[in-house]
Chain A
């Protein structure tokens, strides 16, 4: 082992440590600041207290915004999964000229459609539909934005469902609906779970859409409310914000763990290959 090798190794690990630290500090802050008597913007060993938690629970809008977030994101996740499942099944099974072009076109445009660039027309459209200041409207816009990519991802899962499963069910007299319900969707379940979590997480963290489309503070989701968590003087409310941040991150983590433990496996053995 040459000296140069040792130096390179040491340098490499120092670099890794620096990068890890860079990402770890905000995490440590989220873990420690909520329970600190004097929360600041630095990371230090907390002076344990639950006072911040009590303050947050008493905050007039904090808990309510979580409910709003859940409402919007569950609606979005369910709608995205349901529509994407139907669309991807159709796109996967129906022979149609220009199908691939359509899919790629959708994927390409989708990033434009929900992107910042399209917010003005979307705002005007929602205004004319009377869906401004509606949580349903927000879920609708986010569904539209996530759907193309969801269809694109889910189509791969549906493509992977062997055709002989469906043909087998068809020979036994199952209708298209029965085939979809009894065979295709259960077999593509890991894909559906993936899409649902992905849609939930994406809409959970979405700031721009609810920020523009929702007026009243009691309808705002957590992602928007967080930036309004200030005290009377206008500076950041460091008693509520850390606890709120912690709470805000919990659903995503829980959802991920739940789905991973339930659907984080793949089926084997129905097809002998």
Chain B
């Protein structure tokens, strides 16, 4: 078991594209780590650079404190599961699982024993003689995992592990994968473009954009306090409301806020806490639909007023779009509270859940580093 250290890593393709652009990252021993980002952000290239399938242009990759930047993939002690699983179609499940051992010339008896044991761990008993084509998608994925585990790598790399499963199976496989990782305690890095998957599985998430790290943190941090508008936009199954606003008053000194201030936004105002911006500053106000509360009567304190436009049913909740002075704001409400379109409603949010971002740079205007329970 081992940690991964990445120092100033850059991977540049021959056509000049900087797929990974000067990245520093530490993955702790036994950690379940997610690389998250939209397609083309360089997350897969980063994973492949760790595996050694792409060579780093600059910087260093260390696995278990050993510099492996220029080491052959097969000698790095990594195991990898590919997005398409890459099971060898002409080999049986058992031959597939033990191929890493065959390469190392392990005896047939040991191989058979390993295949048996690993297959048992991943509930593949009775499938050992089948060919990959005779397996379901979920079984194929487990064979690919079994093969990676059987190779006894120090680090497990997963490229979009769940993307090839249908929605129902994906949830099942997600639970299975998380439990497997816990049980094995193996350092695992996985790539995904699905924020829900990253939030559900990972101990820590690195959000990437254009080859650069945009935020690194626990799922809770990344969800509740996105470090910039890019992350705010990307994380969350209902998109965060990002609205232009102006800091209207501050309660601390007259330049910087310590505790609570008020921002005017969308014809109304909201209170915000722990930000650092002077009164009058032009900001982007970020507030998640889940943190907004919808009321019909009058509310004391800062609030927004608007008309319900549509309500979308999300199961136990509904996503209601409210037109506040020409700006559409999303808010989730419990299913029994769904308002009729056209009604006038009032929106409030707890000050700690209202985030202010710099209008220009999109960075969070935080007084202190994000620490959210």
Residues of A near any B CB (own CB < 8 A): 162, 164-165, 167-174, 178, 182-183, 186-187, 189, 267-273
Contacts and interface: CB of A to CB of B under 8 A. Distances in A.
A189 B90 CA distance: 10
Given A269-B131, A272-B85, 10 more contacts: A162-B86, A167-B80, A170-B72, A171-B52, A171-B53, A171-B73, A182-B99, A186-B88, A270-B85, A272-B164
Nearest to B137: A272
Contacts of A269: 87, 89, 131-135, 140
Contacts of A271: 84-86, 89
B310 to A, nearest CB: 37
Q: Is the interface on chain B under 10, 10 to 19, 20 to 34, or 35 or more residues? A: 20 to 34
B168 interface: no
Nearest to A186: B90
Contacts of B75: 173
A248 B96 CA distance: 43
A167 B82 contact: yes
A271 B137 CA distance: 10
Contacts of B147: 172
B74 A173 contact: yes
B103 interface: yes
Contacts of B72: 170
Nearest to B144: A168
B45 interface: no
A270 B151 CA distance: 19
B84 A172 contact: no
Contacts of A165: 86, 88
Interface in B121-179: 131-135, 137, 140, 147, 151, 164
A50 to B, nearest CB: 45
A172 B103 CA distance: 7
B89 A171 contact: no
B306 interface: no
A270 B99 contact: no
Given A170-B73, A172-B100, A182-B99, A268 B84 contact: no
A187 B89 contact: yes
Nearest to B95: A182
Contacts of B52: 171
Interface string B31-63: 000000000000000000001110000000000
Contacts of A186: 88, 90
A165 B96 CA distance: 11
B78 interface: yes
A172 B85 contact: no
Contacts of B90: 186-187, 189, 267
A182 B91 CA distance: 9
A171 B85 contact: no
B79 interface: yes
A183 B51 contact: no
Contact of A168 (B82, B131, B133, B164): B82
B90 to A, nearest CB: 4
Most buried by A among B87, B134, B140: B87
